[in-house]
Structure 1
Amino acid sequence: MPLNRLNCVIGLLCIAFAASESASADDWPQWLGPERDGVWREDGIMREFPAEGPPVLWRTPIGSGYSGPSIVGDRVYITDRQLNKGQQNSDNAFDRSPTVGSERVLCLDATDGSILWTHEYPCKYTISYAAGPRTSPLVADGKVYTLGAEGDLYCLDAKTGKPLWSRELKEDYDMPAPVWGFAGHPLLDGDRLICLVGGKGSVAVAFNKDTGEEIWRSLSAAEPGYCPPMIYELGGRRQLVIWHPQAVNGLDPVTGEVFWSIPFSVKAGMTIATPRKAGERLFVSAFYDGPMLLGFENSESVPDLIWRGESHSERNTDKLHAVMSTPFIEDGYIYGVGSYGQLRCLDLATGERIWEDLRATGSTGDLHSRTDRWANAFLIKHEDRYFIANEQGDLIIAELTPAGYEEISRAHLIEPDNTMAGRKVVWSHPAFANRRVYLRNDNEIICVDLAKP
């Protein structure tokens, strides 16, 4: 073959290989995706929805739960709850009367939704909001880790569902389940599976990911809260951020040593929304007690308080009072959903509110209406826009900038069927992988194609 033709062939092969690499599908193996940051990095995604909506590829019946799905390769992992015959959940979500049933971990084929295996174990609920498990499965190195609402921690073989080890956190750490169940999504760091647990000296616990043996335990608090543990580079070192209802804390993720602790008392134990990092700043936000911004520019030991909200009311809020939705920080601005469904933009430097919009959540903005309380939408960044999954089962494509909320497209994908505050809701975070979105409610999980035509 002539040299110039050979070079041409090699060049074309390199281009094809690069194109296939850039177009390769991504996984969504844990809470908030591969980097645990709520960013979807796949390309080839539709810019707006077709008039008839994006195509639903499959639907699979499952039980109830708040946990989001996780996707690795051609497999989908999800947890749910099954009630025993004759049992039913109370119409009052705050009722903690025991109900008997089981929790399940399911593995589905990502191509057609068929169930490949199921791991089921008995689990009596004594918690409020008893629909089912809260935390997303964490999938890594051929294992899937799940944490149930009553503290059943499992490590399963991701291929077969065979249990490799398990812990009963309530028994092991001599504590009751939190009011709203165990909800802090586990975090994997090296050989450590880090969990929000509770009890004296064990708000945060690191387990060996292969054996389940405890590596370290740290922190004491009256209750653990519900906030996922996060690891960020702050003040020149890796720090494990644990936010419980009495303080925001920075720990050494390897040893559990406490680097610093900033008091931040939160009503009703509602430390829920994931803490967010922007440069050397750390942002947290609570339903009743609002937000706080910490800065690490001047010290690696104890951060500075940059600003804090003044309101301790769920209604008369001055900045952002987040509940379930993880805020997003971009280019010096914070975007997040407040206590009554207000999508807001704040100036990161000062906390000043730039704008507020109700269209994404469908809230009326009535601060005395129970039907708007906790109105929710999850924000997922993709390229120069956001995918917003609201509690009504809509998926929205929108631009969020300091200039305002600009809706590009909206499609109704799944029916809200969990009754809360006098309305039907979907409160499970979706997963984005394989150029698809995977969503669940209390009756089914669906897969919707979002690939560019």
Structure 2
Amino acid sequence: MIKRYPPSALLRTIAGGLLAFAGCGQGPPVQVVEVTAVAASNDSVKPLEFSAADWPQWRGATIDGATNATGLATQWDASTNIAWKADVPGRGHSSPIVIGDTIYLASAVTGPDRQVVLAYDRATGQKRWETTVHEGGFPSDRQVHQKGSNANGTLASDGERVFATFLNDGKIVATALDTAGKQAWQQELGAFRPKFGYAPSPVLYRSLVIVPADNAGGAFIAALDRESGEIVWRRKRANIDTYSSALLATIAGRDQLVITGGDKLASYDPATGEELWTCQAISEATCGTPITNGTEIFASGGFPARQTVCVAGDGTGETLWSNNTKVYEPSMLLAGGNLFAVTDEGIGWCWDAATGAVKWKQRIGGAFSASPILSGNLVYVPNLSGETVVFEASSEGYHEVARNPLGDDCYASPAVSGSDLFLRVGVGSGDQRKEQLVCIRPAT
């Protein structure tokens, strides 16, 4: 059932919950020191510039899962349209990113425990380097969700450095490596009490890399100078366990960092960390990343409550429409004035983005953790059985194009570069499970 609200502002000034696979809340909260912006714009840092073939961070350059690339394969299996497969050590849900001719991803290796960053040749899949960022320091198994890992967050890269954020030794630590795998800087951001581990991915803005760290023991969000690792600003957040990654986009004419969780949808000025507005929405715990059409913001998820919501992005925080659908782990997509989603339980949805009216609902089948991507008029989304479902981004009904098996599971989201589609998949199960990075490329 759709709820529509009159144009009354729901503006709030309490910080909402943000992007972490967060803390346990045992004992008193950790003191978080708030740092006012000291160098929000560092003119000496090279501006962010990406080519059309780059996929430089979580959900791509625009953090919306969409690509202008065309010619992706729509059908494949273990031997058809597979350009190469590369072994990935350890386990991680970090999705691949692509800069130029290199693919980067993070992983966590056990026995001995290491958190690592890896680089692969885009054309061949050959591993170029592997850098150990941390040795030991993993949280206990009971502090990591059974579906999680010790390398959940996707990396980000500005073309000169690769940025990784890990939970290690009870702290969130950001690390920058150069493109040869050598450490450029490392910065401890603050204590973190894990309940289900740590999940958020860093996002890039001008001279900054922005890192969220929500948890019940002392939540914060911090921005670091990309070149030096200096903390430029840090803001306290509500001490609540919540798990989403952030959206960073120009919305209603201004740059905004938008995050969900803690029963709030909240917007910050990414240059300073100043809170712009909040509204009450969704639930205490969320996982997906919001999405925007440049005017409105769309978000979903929820535990214990469940909601999909459309909110004005003009600073009023006005809720335009809402329903009680829960899209918890996967993020959503916008295409052609419609909002598309695949729920954790395998239900596909299409809503009219302007009104929230249901265009179609379809049981796709399978269980999903990965977020879908959009290429042209096609949606690609892997499920937890290793199948990638391809369907049309059409409001006229659910039209499945293909269902492509590869591996035995897939938790990470796809990345795209040119006509190449990259998937991180699991092969086998239990103690025999291994991971592979796979390049899917249409045969010429």
Residues 1:124 and 2:138 aligned together: yes
Structure 1 residues 124 and 52: CA distance shift in structure 2, 3 A = closer
Alpha-carbon separation, structure 1, partners of 2:183 and 2:261: 30
> Which one has a bigger Cα radius of gyration?
1
Which residue is equivalent to 2:176? 155
Mapping for residues 102-121 of structure 1, pairs under 5 Å: 102-120=114-132, 121=134
Which residue is equivalent to 1:242? 259
Contact 1:136 1:185 in 2 (8 A): yes
Alpha-carbon separation, structure 1, partners of 2:158 and 2:127: 20
Which residue is equivalent to 1:335? 340
Which residue is equivalent to 2:81? 54
> Deviations 1:19-64 (Å, cap 9, x if unpaired)?
xxxxx97122211123222112223434555996322423324211
Residues 1:432 and 2:392 aligned together: no
Q: Give the % identical residues.
A: 24
Alpha-carbon separation, structure 2, partners of 1:52 and 1:143: 34
Structure 1 residues 137 and 217: CA distance shift in structure 2, 3 A = same
Q: CA RMSD in A?
A: 2.5
Structure 1 residues 229 and 450: CA distance shift in structure 2, 3 A = same
Give the drift of 1:284.
Answer: 1.0
> Deviations 1:362-395 (Å, cap 9, x if unpaired)?
23xxxxxxxx5xx445321111222222222122
Give the counterpart letter for 1:108 in structure 2: Y
Give the counterpart letter for 1:105 in structure 2: V
Give the drift of 1:139.
Answer: 1.3
Which residue is equivalent to 2:14? none
> Deviations 1:335-373 (Å, cap 9, x if unpaired)?
1022422111123233333322222xx23xxxxxxxx5x
Give the counterpart letter for 1:57 in structure 2: W
Alpha-carbon separation, structure 2, partners of 1:198 and 1:326: 19
Contact 1:436 1:447 in 2 (8 A): no
Structure 1 residues 411 and 154: CA distance shift in structure 2, 3 A = same
Moved more, 113-122 or 40-49: 40-49
Structure 1 residues 357 and 114: CA distance shift in structure 2, 3 A = same
Which residue is equivalent to 2:301? 286
Give the drift of 1:157.
Answer: 0.9
Contact 2:378 2:392 in 1 (8 A): yes
> Deviations 1:162-181 (Å, cap 9, x if unpaired)?
11111233xxx23323x222
2:406 corresponds, among 413, 423, 432, to 413
Residues 1:174 and 2:174 aligned together: no
Give the counterpart letter for 1:346 in structure 2: W
Which residue is equivalent to 2:229? 212
* Structure in which a larger fraction of residues adopt helix: 1
Which residue is equivalent to 2:247? 230
Q: TM-score, normalised by structure 1?
A: 0.76
3-state SS in 2 of match to 1:141: coil
Which residue is equivalent to 1:165? 185
Which residue is equivalent to 2:4? none
When the two structures are aligned, how many residues end up with a matched partner?
A: 375
Structure 1: runs of 5 or more not aligned:
1-23, 86-100, 310-317, 364-371, 417-425
Give the counterpart letter for 1:65 in structure 2: G
Relative contact order: is structure 1 or structure 2 higher (C-alpha 8 Å, sep ≥ 6)? Answer: 2
Contact 1:387 1:398 in 2 (8 A): yes
Alpha-carbon separation, structure 2, partners of 1:393 and 1:434: 23
Contact 1:280 1:295 in 2 (8 A): yes
Which residue is equivalent to 1:135? 153
Contact 2:150 2:198 in 1 (8 A): no
Residues 1:221 and 2:238 aligned together: yes
Structure 1 residues 407 and 66: CA distance shift in structure 2, 3 A = same
3-state SS in 1 of match to 2:255: strand
Structure 2: runs of 5 or more not aligned:
1-50, 427-433
Alpha-carbon separation, structure 1, partners of 2:340 and 2:178: 38
> Deviations 1:188-238 (Å, cap 9, x if unpaired)?
111111111237886221111111111112242022622222222223322
Residues 1:307 and 2:321 aligned together: yes
Stretches (4+) displaced over 4 A? 47-52, 199-202
Contact 1:384 1:399 in 2 (8 A): yes
Mapping for residues 256-275 of structure 1, pairs under 5 Å: 256-264=273-281, 266-267=283-284, 269=285, 271-275=286-290
Alpha-carbon separation, structure 2, partners of 1:185 and 1:233: 19
Give the drift of 1:80.
Answer: 1.0
Mapping for residues 13-162 of structure 1, pairs under 5 Å: 26-46=53-73, 48-49=75-76, 53-84=80-111, 101-120=113-132, 121-122=134-135, 123-126=137-140, 127-129=143-145, 130-150=148-168, 151-159=172-180, 161-162=181-182
Give the drift of 1:77.
Answer: 0.9
Give the counterpart letter for 2:54 in structure 1: D
3-state SS in 2 of match to 1:168: strand
Give the counterpart letter for 2:200 in structure 1: G
Give the counterpart letter for 2:406 in structure 1: L
Contact 1:221 1:244 in 2 (8 A): no
Contact 1:197 1:224 in 2 (8 A): no
Contact 2:234 2:273 in 1 (8 A): yes
Mapping for residues 355-394 of structure 1, pairs under 5 Å: 355-359=360-364, 362-363=365-366, 375-376=368-369, 378-394=371-387
Alpha-carbon separation, structure 1, partners of 2:127 and 2:76: 29
Alpha-carbon separation, structure 2, partners of 1:261 and 1:234: 14
Structure 1 residues 113 and 331: CA distance shift in structure 2, 3 A = closer
Give the counterpart letter for 1:36 in structure 2: I
